[in-house]
Structures are given as structure tokens and as C-alpha cells.
Amino acid sequence: MRDLVAEAKVSVLIDAGQLAERVAELGQEISRDHERKDLLVVCVLKGSVLFFADLCRSISVPLRMDMLAVESYHGGTQSSGNVRFVHDLREDVSGRHVLLVEDIVDTGRTITHLVNILGKRGPASVKVATLLDKPSRRVEEVDLAYTGFEVPDRFVIGYGLDYAQYFRNLPYIGVLEGPAELLNA
């Protein structure tokens, strides 16, 4: 697999400059909406890790950070519909304004599950910031307070998003185009 990944052809969908510009805009919007609010920004691991890091740096109001991890895909590109909590928050969310930071909302199952679970812990609010939105595949209706970009129904990688755990380090969002052995691996 590693050798195939080294030969991968990736076409750029959203370049690093576009990402930086949009993330800065989202940070300003989130800052305006959370003045004098107790803000807890939650990284949904692993896919949102780069977006989370850049977004937090562009938020100018005081905030706390925490992380959680769920599994909704199992190595491939299809949603199992089965969302499993593998790492919970360490912070208490009661009375706080929680901002869940996601990489991509596809069917909407993962984020719906998380919003429902955290909503039962007594937060002042639970909002979602997603870098990418793939609305064509939605199964659950989701309220997205902050969205970076809408993307077509393609499997995207980079800037935190993986294919078989690779490609998260790409500084842009791209689509894997080949080689064929990698796409079928």
C-alpha cells in the first residue's frame, strides 16, 4: 500500500490558499458569534485535526479545546451507518457553548449522533462547524452553523481527510485519480 500511495495521482479540488482564506473567514464569524460566551471547541478526530488547528488559530475570543474520536468508516470509502465512540471528551460540557469541528458531513449520521449525545450533557448550545459539506448524500437532516465548502459526490482526501489512513498530510483537498491498483486496493 505504501508504495502505491507514493505513486498516487491526486487532482486538486480546493487549494491551500482557498482553504486558508475560508478558514480565516469562519474564524471571524465564530468569534463574532461567541463574544462573552464560554466556548469549548471540539476536534472530531482524526479527520478534522488540521482544520481544527487552523480554525482555532483564527478565532480571537477565549476558548477551550477538547477532542473526541468516533469511527464511522472502516478503512474503505463507504459509510457503515454504524458510529462508534472510541474516545470521549475530558471536559465537562454543562453550561458551555460547544462547537463541534468536523472534516466533512456526508450522510450526516456521524454528526447527528454526536450532537444528540452531547446535547444530553446539559450544554448551553451545540453547534457544528464543518470544513466540507457533501449534501447530495445526506440521510439525516443536519443544522450546520458554519460550512467551509460544498463538495460534489466524490471521495475527497487531504487536509486531514484520509484514504486508508494515508493522505491526511496533503495541504489541499483533492480527489484520488490513480493508479488503478490503489483505487481498488
Q: What residues line the site for ligand 5GP (CB under 6 A)?
A: 47, 72-73, 79, 102-110, 134, 155-157, 161-162
Strand order in the sheet with 84-87: 84-87, 63-71, 39-45, 97-105, 125-133, 146-150
CB of 12 to ligand 5GP, least distance (A): 15
**Cβ neighbours of residue 154 closer than 8 Å, sequence gap 6 or more:** 13, 175
- Nearest distance in Å: CB 141, ligand 5GP: 12
Instruction: For the CB of residue 58, give the shortest distance to ligand 5GP in the complex, in Å.
Output: 21
Based on CB atoms, which residue is closest to ligand 5GP, 34 or 102? Answer: 102
Pick between residue 51 and residue 123 the one whose CB is nearest to ligand 5GP: 51
Closer of 92 and 143 to ligand 5GP (Cβ): 143
| Residue positions counted in the chain | 185
How far apart are CB 91 and ligand 5GP at their closest, in Å? 21
Name the active-site residue from 88, 106, 143, 162.
Answer: 106
Choose among 133, 134, 114, 110: nearest CA to 123. 114
Nearer to ligand 5GP, 110 or 182 (CB): 110
78-104 per-residue burial string, b: 16 or more CB within 10 A, e: under 16? ebeeebeeeeebeeebeebbbbbbbbb
Any catalytic annotation for residue 106? yes
Q: Cite the active site residues.
A: 106
